[in-house]
Structure 1
Amino acid sequence: MSLYLDYNASSPVLPEVLDVMISVYKNTPGNADSRTHVYGTNAKKLVLESRRTIASILAVDPTEMIFTSGSTESNNTCILGIADYANKTGKKHIITTAIEHKAILEPLKILQNKGFDVEYIKPDASGRINAEQLLASVRADTVLVSVMFVNSETGIIQPVHQIGKALKSQSVLFHVDATQALGKLNSEIRSLDYDMMSITAHKIGGPQGIGALILKRNDSYQSPPITPLMYGGHQERGFRPGTTPVALIAGFAKAVELCENNLQSSIDGCIRIKNNFYKALDGLTYTINGDPQYCIPSTINISIDGLDAEAAFLCLGDDYAFSNGSACNSSTHELSYVLDAMGLSEKRKAEAIRLSWNGKEDIDFTPFVNIVRSII
């Protein structure tokens, strides 16, 4: 079995989370919307308790949280769901970055084809966008700004606090894709000014197929003017019809609870692992893609001189599971659009690999680097 180093794509389900889900599947079989018997009542109670657990850790009201299938659905709901409001108000300018996940960029293309003006802010070689440049682009007809908290390919933290604080006094909605921040920057999430936020369970040891969209109420107690994308039921305040996945939600809540309780030990472990990786690289020529001072400790995007990334996957794939970017692009051999937006050379992009971990156990990178040396 190969060593898993692709936690940014998806993390293995934690044993404690799996135990909770198995218990729910065995003992709470009811539909949470069945009101005429105890099975439905018990399922509904469990969903309510799980919602409260997650909301408490995120410092939001439970009624501000909508369960979705994950961040992709949450992102699509924010982007496509703003269209009706934008058309009514005539505010059809949207600002985002060139390094967002495809779950942001693709629905934005849909809106562009419908006459929206979408502006893409590029980062510099640090992998970080300039907040002042983005804020200077805000216009009277700007309806939405959408910026990811942490880039999934580089691990670079974006200046969302500065942006959120500045937008708070303006009539512009601010959406944050916090997919890679949850479980790593929880206290920063709680202190952030935003209107909408996307999160998912499977990056933090929870199950795949469950996430959430936070729609925070403003000072006038109004929710962001998002139109639902699906119809057919009243679940999740009408935003997401369909049978509530009770076991997935319970697993999500357990994963969030665990990541909060173990946050510092996880961070310490991730720092230790990254330092071990640097030590193993001694003697090799390499470049870190993105400014390390803004990078989360669980991720490294690195170009090793003379190492073709595709060759690395072939030679190391039996023993190590890692990637060269976001899983949404893994079906193609195209070089990273994120690294391209950073202005990196073709050689550096072709040599780039991404490793990500969870900090629970030490990793000996010596065998990994020895194989790399044999390749180059």
Structure 2
Amino acid sequence: MTINLDCNASTPLDPRVRETLLQHLGAAFGNPSSVGHSYGMRARHSVELAREQVAHVVAAEPTDVIFTSGATESNNLALGGLAEFGRQSNKRHILTTAIEHKSVLGPLSALHGDDFDVELLPVGPNGRLDPQMVMRHLRDETLVVSVMGANNETGVRQPVAELAELLADRDCFFHVDAAQSFGKDLEALRHPGIDLISATAHKIYGPQGVGALIARGLADKRVPLTPVLHGGGQEGGLRPGTQPTALIAAFGKAAALAVEEADARNAVCAQFRLRLLDVLSLSGLRPRINGDLRHVQPHVLNVTIPHLDADLAVALLTSQVAVSTGAACTHNTSGPSHVLEAMGRAPADLASTLRFSWCRETPEPNWDWLVSTLREAVCEPVEVEVRRGREFLRKVG
């Protein structure tokens, strides 16, 4: 069986979460908007319980939670949903970082084409944003600052709690894309100064296809969101459409388990990382870690190996180990990692980098086999181009 070392792309479904999901796909199939009978009432109860469970992760109110299809939709709602307020208040400046996920950079690119001034801030070679740089670039017309909780490629945690503290008395909103940190880095996301938090279930052993936008003080209009989709009045009118009760209930269960087991999960993952670091350090492959390990999540390691053909390595490893060269969201797009580029990595390093990411139950692979397979994928630069040329001819021929 192939060992999954690509858990940042998606985690396996926890059996306890699967049980909740199946229960609601079976007898609890009602529409939560149909409150005139028991089927609808049971579904409504499940949705509201999940709302409480998701809110608890970040110390928010249940009324702050808007269920969505995932973090991508949540990011679009958070940023696009503030656009009308920005136009009306003449606040058209947006600050973000050069290492954000495409689900943040995409909607911001659209806003940039709609007369918003979007400013991308650099990060240091350690992959981390300097909070003081944000403060230096703030303007009176800044609408929102958007910074990810942890980077999906490097696992580097960003200083979101410190930023929330610094932005507390500034007249702008603070959004955190927490796709990779929700349910993992608990304390940082509980800072009351974070106005908007995007989350998804499938990074915390929940199902794909469900997430949430948490908007603190939503009931009191602290965050003046407008919908980007239009239809019925579900989710406070901000996310129309029949709520997928089974997915939402499963998300709630996954969120509750994430809080209960956070310390134990982190400890197990940290031990796995120590073992992987030991193996790589003794391999003779001269690995270089991308990101300051003091700020990297315990389940992620982004590694550059000189002269490694990363694509070849992924192909050679796949019979026993699943790894990636970067973000799953960029699989269908060409070009090097914008994250590593923003960290100042050399062009040659971009094609020689692998991301390892694991889960609490990930078994150790055959380390000797992994190292020997990586050695097979280490080539001199000319040999790399020859191999890629052959692969291209094979595909077209």
Same fold (TM over 0.5): yes
How far apart are the structure 1 equivalents of 2:99 and 2:189? 20
Note if 1:369 corresponds to 2:371: yes
Give the match for residue 250 of structure 1.
249
Per-residue displacement from partner, 1:248-273 (whole Å, max 9, x unpaired)?
Answer: 01100111111111111111111111
Percentage of pairs with the same residue: 39
Pairing 1:124-139 to 2, within 5 Å after superposition: 124-139=124-139
Contact 1:201–1:210 at 8 Å: present in 2 too?
yes
How far apart are the structure 1 equivalents of 2:334 and 2:57? 39
Per-residue displacement from partner, 1:5-58 (whole Å, max 9, x unpaired)?
Answer: 111111111111111111111111110001221111111111111111221232
Question: What is the Cα deviation at residue 371 of structure 1?
Answer: 1.0
- Helix, strand or coil at the partner of 1:249: helix
Per-residue displacement from partner, 1:186-210 (whole Å, max 9, x unpaired)?
Answer: 1322235211110000001100010
Q: What's the TM-score, normalizing by structure 1?
A: 0.97
Per-residue displacement from partner, 1:299-344 (whole Å, max 9, x unpaired)?
Answer: 0100012211111112112221111111111123421011001110
Pairing 1:32-47 to 2, within 5 Å after superposition: 32-47=32-47
How far apart are the structure 2 equivalents of 1:258 and 1:161? 23
Note if 1:277 corresponds to 2:276: yes
Give the match for residue 300 of structure 1.
301
Note if 1:315 corresponds to 2:316: yes
Letter paired with 1:287: R
How far apart are the structure 1 equivalents of 2:94 and 2:377? 45
Question: What is the Cα deviation at residue 145 of structure 1?
Answer: 0.4
Contact 1:127–1:156 at 8 Å: present in 2 too?
yes
How far apart are the structure 1 equivalents of 2:129 and 2:244? 37
Pairing 1:226-241 to 2, within 5 Å after superposition: 226-241=225-240
- Helix, strand or coil at the partner of 2:217: coil
Contact 1:201–1:255 at 8 Å: present in 2 too?
yes
Question: What is the Cα deviation at residue 374 of structure 1?
Answer: 2.9
How far apart are the structure 2 equivalents of 1:27 and 1:344? 53
Contact 1:161–1:192 at 8 Å: present in 2 too?
no
Give the match for residue 2 of structure 2.
2
Letter paired with 2:241: G
How far apart are the structure 2 equivalents of 1:339 and 1:361? 26
Give the match for residue 263 of structure 1.
262
Letter paired with 1:231: H
Letter paired with 1:48: E
- Helix, strand or coil at the partner of 2:26: helix
How far apart are the structure 2 equivalents of 1:130 and 1:301? 21
How far apart are the structure 1 equivalents of 2:53 and 2:81? 27
Give the match for residue 121 of structure 1.
121
Contact 1:13–1:207 at 8 Å: present in 2 too?
yes
For structure 1, the 5+ residue unaligned runs are none
Letter paired with 1:64: D
Note if 1:350 corresponds to 2:351: yes
Q: What is the aligned-residue RMSD (CA, Å)?
A: 1.4
Question: What is the Cα deviation at residue 157 of structure 1?
Answer: 0.6
How far apart are the structure 1 equivalents of 2:326 and 2:214? 27
Per-residue displacement from partner, 1:141-184 (whole Å, max 9, x unpaired)?
Answer: 11110000100000001111121111110111000011111232
Contact 1:269–1:362 at 8 Å: present in 2 too?
no
Question: What is the Cα deviation at residue 362 of structure 1?
Answer: 4.0
Contact 2:324–2:354 at 8 Å: present in 1 too?
yes
Contact 2:317–2:370 at 8 Å: present in 1 too?
yes
Contact 2:161–2:189 at 8 Å: present in 1 too?
no
Give the match for residue 66 of structure 1.
66
Contact 2:314–2:325 at 8 Å: present in 1 too?
no
Closer, same or farther: CA 326–361 of 1 in aligned 2, 3 Å: closer
Per-residue displacement from partner, 1:258-293 (whole Å, max 9, x unpaired)?
Answer: 111111111111111111111211132011011111
How far apart are the structure 2 equivalents of 1:42 and 1:198? 27
How far apart are the structure 2 equivalents of 1:132 and 1:187? 21
Give the match for residue 211 of structure 2.
211
Letter paired with 2:144: L
- Helix, strand or coil at the partner of 2:147: strand
Letter paired with 2:12: P
Contact 2:3–2:362 at 8 Å: present in 1 too?
no
- Helix, strand or coil at the partner of 1:180: coil
Pairing 1:58-207 to 2, within 5 Å after superposition: 58-191=58-191, 193-207=193-207
Give the match for residue 224 of structure 1.
223
Contact 2:4–2:362 at 8 Å: present in 1 too?
no
Contact 1:146–1:176 at 8 Å: present in 2 too?
yes
Question: What is the Cα deviation at residue 223 of structure 1?
Answer: 2.6
How far apart are the structure 2 equivalents of 1:286 and 1:93? 40
Letter paired with 1:316: L
How far apart are the structure 1 equivalents of 2:278 and 2:67? 42
Per-residue displacement from partner, 1:231-262 (whole Å, max 9, x unpaired)?
Answer: 11011000111111100011001111111111
Note if 1:291 corresponds to 2:292: yes
Question: What is the Cα deviation at residue 361 of structure 1?
Answer: 4.2
Letter paired with 1:337: H
Contact 1:269–1:361 at 8 Å: present in 2 too?
no
Contact 2:310–2:351 at 8 Å: present in 1 too?
yes
Question: What is the Cα deviation at residue 86 of structure 1?
Answer: 0.7
Note if 1:331 corresponds to 2:332: yes
How far apart are the structure 2 equivalents of 1:303 and 1:127? 14
